Amino acid sequence: MRPAYLECSACAKRHEVGLRNLCDCGAPLFARYEGPEVARDRLRPRSDLWRYAPLLPLEDREIVSRGEGGTPILHAPRLAQDLGFRDLLVKDEGRNPTGTFKARGMAVAVPMAKTRGAKALGRTRNLQRATAEVLALWIRSSHRRHVLEIGTSNGYSTLWLAWAVQPGGGRITSVARSAAKHALADANLRQAGLRDAVELAQGEGAEVIARLDGPFDAVFFDADRSSAPSISRLASVGRSSSRSTHGTPSVAKVRLCWPSP
């Protein structure tokens, strides 16, 4: 079942199916499907991702698999007891080839891109919209005004942070090493009318942060985990009281979502 169209996760604009993953506003695109429902008896008699092949956008000849999916849901009684729950279920994504839930999505996305003529692939590590909304609402409701973002990417999370601080006259300082991604973030922020609320600082994270004056009353870490220790010391704890306020909260996507080597 091929996608009918692509829809923006932020502004709901529709696009034709093709080799693009971002809307004109800079937000990720979701594939939308139209067609009859697939009955349960049409599912495949197997225990991995490809049990659901009739619901996925690939023909059998296009599938390239390393055993994705089929990750079990396990009871965790001791953890449930510690947390005060009657029961707790944990999905063991570690059995995927990559050790993460992302194996399933990429197992479909890569061969699908190939069918559309892609010769090489790159991935932008954007937040999911729901996560970005929660982050932005926390920043706004707690009246944070000076936020440090480490890891700009294409500026998707930066847009949400800027939206959160703009009513109070706040400012985002966003750090990334890639000049190309900063250029993309700059364009997306300008299109959204939020460029004035953001300072884009380009360079190695620890080096750039060491030069910043601050203070910052929130830190969002969304960069590579190898730089986490040095950056956390500089941004969250702060070598200087001018760089971060006492008790500055830090939110780290990388520590929650990325697998260990």
Mean pLDDT for 25-47 is 87
Specify if 135 maps to a domain. yes
Specify if 151 maps to a domain. yes
Specify if 228 maps to a domain. yes
Kindly report the number of other CB atoms within 10 A of residue 23's CB atom. 21
* Tokens encoding 130: 């729901």
Mean pLDDT, rounded, of the chain = 82
pLDDT above 50: residue 258: no
pLDDT above 50: residue 237: no
pLDDT at res. 208:
85
Lowest mean pLDDT among 125-134, 197-206, 214-223, 249-258: 249-258
Q: DSSP states of the chain as a string? A: ---SEEEETTT--EE-SSS--B-TTSPBEEEE--SPPPPGGGS-SSSSGGGGGGGSS--GGG---SS---PPEEE-HHHHHHHT-S--EEE-GGGSTTSSTHHHHHHHHHHHHHHTT-S------PPPHHHHHHHHHHHHHTT--EEEEE--TTSHHHHHHHHHHGGGT-EEEEEES-HHHHHHHHHHHHHHT-GGGEEEEES-HHHHHHH----BSEEEE-S-GGGHHHHHIIIII-SSTTTB-TT--EEEHHHHHSPP-
Domain with 165 in it: 129-257
Gap between the Cα atoms of 14 and 29, Å rounded: 9
pLDDT at res. 261:
38
More confident residue, 240 or 75: 75
pLDDT above 80: residue 5: yes
Specify if 210 maps to a domain. yes
Specify if 162 maps to a domain. yes
Q: How distant, in Å, are the alpha carbons of 25, 28, 182, 189, 233 from that of 13? A: 9, 11, 24, 18, 41
Specify if 233 maps to a domain. yes
Task: Report pLDDT digits (tens) over 178-234.
Answer: 888 889 899 989 988 999 999 999 888 778 888 887 788 888 888 665 555 555 555
**CATH number of the domain enclosing 187:** 3.40.50.150
pLDDT above 60: residue 55: yes
Lowest mean pLDDT among 103-117, 137-151, 221-235: 221-235
- At what angle are helices 179-192 and 156-165 packed, to 10 degrees? 50
pTM of the model: 0.56
Indicate the number of domains in the chain.
Answer: 1
Specify if 230 maps to a domain. yes
Specify if 34 maps to a domain. no
